[in-house]
A and B are shown apart, each in its own frame.
Chain A
Amino acid sequence: MTPKSEEELAQMITGANGPLRIKGGGTRPIGRCEGDELSTSAMSGISLYEPGALTIVAGAGTPISEVEKVLAAENQRLAFEPMDHRTLLGTKGEPTLGGMAAANVSGPRRISVGACRDFMLGVRFVDGHGNIIKNGGRVMKNVTGYDLVKLMTGSYGTLGVLTEVSLKVLPNVETIGTVMLRGLTDAKAIQAMSAALGSPFEATGVAHFPKSKFGDPLTMIRVEGFETSVTYRAEKLRDLLTSYGDAEIQVGATEGPGSAEGWAWVRDVTAFAEQPGDVWRISAKPSDAAELAAKMDAKAVQYDWGGGLIWALTDEGRDLRTALGDFDGHATLIRGTADVPTFQPEAPALAAITAGLRAKFDPRGILNPGIMN
């Protein structure tokens, strides 16, 4: 099914006899669910873009690449740097705005400017009753009523099918600089990354690789902006981190770890692509990260968000949560066949709220049922 309008979509949902599997570009098959395919691809296109107001509104089926192209022409961008899952998951197709929003997809810059959910200004969607609902809007500050925009972002289609999203965008930058430290243990690297993030120099990407194609181990700290500012901040960070080693600085690099391509390699977790094993994504308190990683007995790990995000490549079929035990955070199975819940099970009181919300928005349980289990 490929509805062309909200009305058609509403009819399809009302008329559905069984579960629906909602598809954007089909590039992020995270979670398991069965059902008739319902594609948002025909609800596509940018309906409004005001560079001076830093806002863009587009249909849920709009390819991200189309949005990024239009933004780039005005020297703007999606600042939360959405990860492209195609490499890691071996998928084809065009990632869409709706899929990105439904999975709250962000990248390394999340640590500095916020996640996809922080840039979402408005949504339109059709819920499991077939009701067409809007929330938020196209302005940056809006506290009118409850924030269903955040609720819908990252809800994987289980509360409703997104038809349109409004996003805040930001200016592009003149150049990027990367400060690189080598040879640090995970624990030391996290300390260094925390020092960088706790400085006034606005690191916009902070990642560590115990192993990397650019040499082992590698710690990368990114600064962005006007060239003089980037150079200044990179030098300041290098000076701040002298106790962790002599940092190398790259400004405006066109290849290697400090280039835009290098950061895309970080963003897309390219290191784990085509490597056998399950891939887990763990959000944690940065200062817990090294200890958590040690517990995992993983084939490989890499850290983003200054240690707040751990990517782990493990043997297939393992329940990594057993190894992690109780911790401040959550683990999601992004790739793999382990017979465990894809998402971190919630504590009973929170799980009851979640179940209640699902029952309200999708009483028949037909929208991507079970995908967030």
Chain B
Amino acid sequence: MEMPVPDASVLSRKAKIVERLSQVLPRDAVISDERETRAYECDALTAYKCPPLCAVLPANTKEVADVLRVCHEMGVPVVPRGSGTSLAGGALPTADCVILGVAKMNDVIETNYDDRYIRVQTGRTNLSVTGAVETNGFFYAPDPSSQLACAIAGNIAMNSGGAHCLKYGVTTNNLMGVTMVLMDGTVVEIGGAHLDSGGLDILGVICGSEGQLGVVTEATLRILHKPEGARPVLMGYDSSEVAGQVVTDIIKAGILPVAIEFMDRPCIEATEAFAKAGYPMCEALLIVEVEGSDPEIDAQLKLIMEIAASHNPVELREAKDAEEAGRIWLGRKSAFGAMGQINDYMCLDGTIPVSSLPFVLKRIGEMSKEFGLDVGNVFHAGDGNMHPLILFDANKPGDLELCEEFGAEILKLCVEVGGCLTGEHGVGIEKRDLMNVQYDPADLEAQMAIKDIFDPAWLLNAAKVFPLETSDARRAA
């Protein structure tokens, strides 16, 4: 994985740049000491590290605008950072960049239950958005598994999803408006407490643009009243084909569960050893959750259990109460941790058409043997978003590279069967060089043309998303 050569003229002007930034920010909001900038050297893709030139922690939109204006004038690259939980390297610095962290901006600006929205500064964590409204019975629906730590800024940048998006959608479906600062310091208001755009859907293109178009400082988010209740069932099958068929049959029966999670045998074995959730040892395990009042849940689960039973499950278990529900979710929720106990792992997130599930799992199994690396699969089965976890040993020379090569092959397979490289984590640097697999040059040119409008000098997080050789001319200009 290659990053652009740092701009020597920027590196040589570090003192001047820090001085200018210190003029527009409080003293403690500019971090330039090399020991302290190390805190920003990577995000959750820890295989790649590079301390930035310096980091700044503005407290509001005006300070963000001041920082960007200074960087724009001085030609300094900027990498925005939410909470640094990106698995794709979205917040990986370059040596010549200013890290713009939104961590200080975590206020709730307004809550409005009548109109069902909350407006927050974007450094606020995902879970604490729900935290701000849950005493009134409301919640913010997108629930990435990093929700305890991840910031709304990063959620917007990556258009984050979560386990419950089959019913509630992902970030873009729950984002109503933003205040965004462009690289030249211009502040733009887009959307608001109303629905849909009165012109082009600029909000739609900002969400998921990986911090390349602007820095979103405030966001208006849709909030919903919590359902009366939710309960899962667990089912185990001898083959992934059958499990895939069960998913299809449930959906075709007119039931829309809030979540359908899938785990394969390697993952079940790992989580059992780690969390002892009492899962059956089988090829494919499904957790299906539905919402509503108790009688409504009973009725939906009855239908789901009938469908499940007709496919000869090795196990079929309905949660009768909260404790049993907790036990059903326990293994799934500890799956990543369990795999991490075995070895280092790389987590992919390609999406495939649900109908390709058995074929893709079979191919991944074959590739696992070819590469000599174990893989466990956790999967949002309702929407086709896979999470293959490839195990490797970071201390073994060449293992990371082998793992990356294997990962790339899996992602190519996802595209081949009609899916995509990333369902919810984003491209970042991790999948940057695979973009040509999914998109033709004209497709990428159209996307880059958008960045040209928002950030003509290509200073904002510019080494991400697009293959370096594709964006070279623009970054060098």
Contacts and interface: CB of A to CB of B under 8 A. Distances in A.
Contacts of A331: 198
A186 interface: no
Contact of B115 (A133, A286, A332): A286
A153 B199 contact: no
A55 B382 CA distance: 12
A197 B137 CA distance: 13
Nearest to B194: A329
Given A133-B442, A137-B418, A139-B384, A349 B188 contact: yes
Nearest to B452: A360
Interface string A294-334: 00000000000100110000000000000000001111100
Interface of A: 50-55, 74-75, 104, 106, 110-111, 114-115, 117-118, 127, 131-135, 137-151, 153-155, 158-159, 170-174, 191, 194, 197-200, 226, 228-229, 232, 283-287, 305, 308-309, 328-332, 343-344, 346-347, 349-350, 353-354, 356-357, 360-361, 372
B420 A146 contact: no
Counting chain A CB atoms within 10 Å of each CB, which of B199, B209, B253, B351 scores highest?
Answer: B199
Interface in B396-453: 418-427, 431, 435, 438-440, 442-447, 449-453
A353 B189 CA distance: 12
B207 A114 contact: no
Interface string B272-310: 000000000000000000001101100110000000000
A171 B169 contact: no
B193 A145 contact: no
A155 B201 contact: yes
Counting chain B CB atoms within 10 Å of each CB, which of A117, A144, A154 scores highest?
Answer: A144
Contact of A305 (B195, B205, B225, B438): B195
A172 B354 CA distance: 20
B255 interface: yes
27 contacts: A51-B251, A131-B442, A131-B445, A133-B442, A133-B446, A135-B443, A137-B419, A141-B165, A143-B423, A144-B421, A144-B435, A145-B427, A145-B465, A147-B207, A150-B205, A151-B202, A155-B201, A170-B256, A171-B255, A198-B113, A283-B194, A285-B194, A343-B199, A344-B199, A353-B188, A357-B450, A360-B450
Contacts of B446: 127, 131, 133, 135, 148, 361
Nearest to A309: B195
A146 B423 contact: no
Interface in B200-237: 200-205, 207-209, 225-228
Given A104-B196, A349-B182, 6 more contacts: A52-B251, A53-B354, A141-B380, A198-B116, A283-B198, A353-B453
Contacts of A173: 254
A172 B253 CA distance: 9
A32 to B, nearest CB: 16
Contact of A154 (B200, B255, B420): B200
Interface residues of B, number: 95
Interface in B367-396: 380, 383-385
A308 B137 CA distance: 22
Given A141-B424, A200-B226, A309-B195, A54 B251 contact: yes
Contact of B296 (A114, A148, A232, A343): A232
A331 B194 CA distance: 11
B112 to A, nearest CB: 8
Contacts of A285: 115, 192-194
B152 to A, nearest CB: 16
Nearest to A104: B196
B158 interface: yes
A127 B188 CA distance: 26
Counting chain A CB atoms within 10 Å of each CB, which of B201, B255, B355, B385 scores highest?
Answer: B201
B199 A308 contact: no
A149 B201 CA distance: 10
A58 to B, nearest CB: 15
Nearest to B204: A150
Contact of B435 (A135, A145, A153): A145
Instruction: Please give me the 8 A-B residue pairs with the lowest Cβ-Cβ distance, nearest first.
Output: A150-B204, A330-B198, A52-B248, A141-B423, A329-B194, A356-B453, A171-B254, A344-B198
A148 B205 contact: yes
Contact of B158 (A53, A134, A143, A360): A143
Nearest to A146: B447
A158 B199 CA distance: 11
Nearest to A140: B383
A144 B420 contact: yes
A348 to B, nearest CB: 9
Interface string B8-35: 0000000000000000000000000000
A118 B295 CA distance: 30
A150 B195 contact: no
A200 B139 CA distance: 11
Contact of B443 (A133, A140, A142, A284): A133
Counting chain A CB atoms within 10 Å of each CB, which of B203, B253, B450 scores highest?
Answer: B450
Given A110-B195, A171-B256, A199-B225, A144 B161 contact: no
B159 interface: yes
B469 interface: no
Nearest to B293: A232
